[in-house]
Structure 1
Amino acid sequence: MTERIDVVELLKAQHTKIRELFDEVANTKGEERKQRFHDLVRLLAVHETAEEEVVHPFARSNIEGGELVVKDRIEEEEKAKQALSRLDDMDPDSAKFLDEFAALRQDVLAHAANEEEYEFAHFRRAADRGKLENLARAVQAAETLAPTRPHPGTDTALKNVAVGPVAAVIDRTRDVVRKAKG
């Protein structure tokens, strides 16, 4: 039988992977940096969409002050989406990319720490292990259908449902084309 993971464990593991990808982008050059950056963009886009669809709604209704906590996280996420969109069009070896990437890295890592402290830390008091495991499965399901690029302005579950499926098809098609070009 496979070990079941709860939503807090899943999201923290993804935050660890995000930190690792930031390091990889910072420590590589050329095509390798470009590929690592696209891996990072994909993980961030999928991760944030799943949080917007599953995690934030749970936090809003199950933790004290949830509405305000989520509002702050969504503002941070929107700022990151805008930065990722700008960076996606830049030469990853340019000084401008490196400067904006460094600022994005700082913002995203602060955002992850804020989620862990102000949102995820309260989940185990708000729900039992079974519920948190169900939330992890819901996050994983949302990730399979999520867009793979940031889409500024799609910061709620409702907006993701409206835009997400079309964006996901377009994004995943672009991913295949980009990979084919090598």
Structure 2
Amino acid sequence: MTVPLPPLPPTAGVDDDHYRPGGLSMVDLLTEEHEQIGALCRELADPALAADQRHRVAEVLVATVTRHLSGEEQYLYPSVRGALADGAEVADREIAADADLLRALRELSGTASDDPAYGAAVAEVTGQVDRHTRAATTEIFPALRTVASEAELIRLGNRVQIAEEAAPTRPHPDTPATPPWNRIVEPAVGVVDKVRDAVTGRQTYVDDLPDGTRP
């Protein structure tokens, strides 16, 4: 069984079954992102982190997780749904959990770092991120590797990267979470978010953080 892919451009003179595109596989890419997100959560929970640094790290965490979930919903879960025997159940479960995580991110982004509720907001996000990562690492990724070729996973990884670049940077838990509508709505919402980020000077990437603040 192979993973269903969106239509691909033809590769002149190359047998598609033996073509290996460049880039990271979707599994490797998302695994790296899980590690980066986990590091941001640990950094944010550090009681020694100064208030201004905490605000920057929180902004980057919210944006990074939001982009990550958008990429997964556009390409990981449709692949899971189409390729695994229990894929529909797994995808539906993870999409529902994503909505909860997006709501937790929205709560975190709306809570001041000196608010007594801030620590609980960080803990809620961290707990949901940990659950998300465990499900992917122990269940979803191993199952996908058994049914998809490396070339398919690399092509999916390329698409996830493109989707994340156009994705929202702020949590929108009520937007569509399944294709085709999320592939239409997410880039449009992403444009609005990026304009707001530019106007407010909001930082959204780990590389935007000062060296001493990067996890």
Task: Please state how far the C-alpha of 1:4 moved relative to its aligned partner.
Answer: 3.3
Shift in CA distance, 13/159, structure 1 to aligned 2, threshold 3 Å: same
C-alpha deviations, 1:35-76, integer Å up to 9, x for none? 100100111010000100011000100112000011111111
The CA deviation at 1:162 is 3.9
- Trace 1:102-181 onto structure 2 (pairs within 5 A): 102-154=123-175, 155-179=177-201
- Gaps of at least 5 residues in structure 2 are 1-21, 204-215
2:168–2:191 CA contact under 8 A, matched in 1: yes
Contact 2:44–2:122 (CA<8 Å) still a contact in 1? no
Q: Of Structure 1 and Structure 2, which has the larger fraction of its residues in helix? A: 1
* Residue 104 (structure 2) pairs with residue 83 (structure 1): yes
In the aligned structure 1, how far is the partner of 2:112 from the partner of 2:158?
37
Percent identity between the two aligned chains: 29
The residue type equivalent to 1:25 in the other structure is L
Query: Superposition RMSD on alpha carbons, in Å?
Result: 1.8
Greater than 4 Å deviation, 4+ residue runs: none
The reply to whether residue 20 of structure 1 matches residue 39 of structure 2 is yes
1:173 CA drift (Å): 1.1
Deviation of the 1:93 alpha carbon: 2.8
Task: Summarize the Cα distance change of 1:77–1:180 in structure 2 as closer, same or farther, 3 Å threshold.
Answer: closer
C-alpha distance in 2 between matches for 1:31 and 1:178: 15
Give the Cα separation in 1 of the matches to 2:198 and 2:51.
Answer: 20
Residues 81, 150 of structure 1: 8 Å contact kept: yes
Larger radius of gyration: 2
User: TM-score under structure 1 normalisation?
Assistant: 0.92
Structure 2 distance, partners of 1:180, 1:138, is 26
Query: Which segment is superposed worse, 40-49 or 22-31?
Result: 22-31
Q: Hey, what's the Cα distance between the residues in 1 that align with 2:92 and 2:171?
A: 18
CA distance in 2 between counterparts of 1:180 and 1:104 reads 20
Given that 2:44 and 2:58 are in contact with CA atoms closer than 8 Å, whether structure 1 keeps it comes out as: yes
Q: Is the 8 A contact 1:73 1:115 kept in 2?
A: no
C-alpha deviation, 1:25, in angstroms: 1.2
Tell whether the 8 Å contact from 1:69 to 1:118 is kept in structure 2 after alignment.
no
| Alpha-carbon shift at residue 85 of structure 1 (Å) | 1.1
Indicate if the aligned counterparts of 2:75 and 2:159 stay in contact, CA closer than 8 A: yes
CA distance in 1, matches of 2:139, 2:86: 10
Q: CA-to-partner distance for each residue in 1:106-137, whole Å, 9 max, x for gaps?
A: 11111111122221111111111111110110
* 1:73 equivalent in structure 2: 94
Unaligned 5+ residue runs, structure 1?
none
Q: TM-score when scaled to structure 2?
A: 0.79
Separation of aligned partners in 1, 2:179 and 2:56: 29
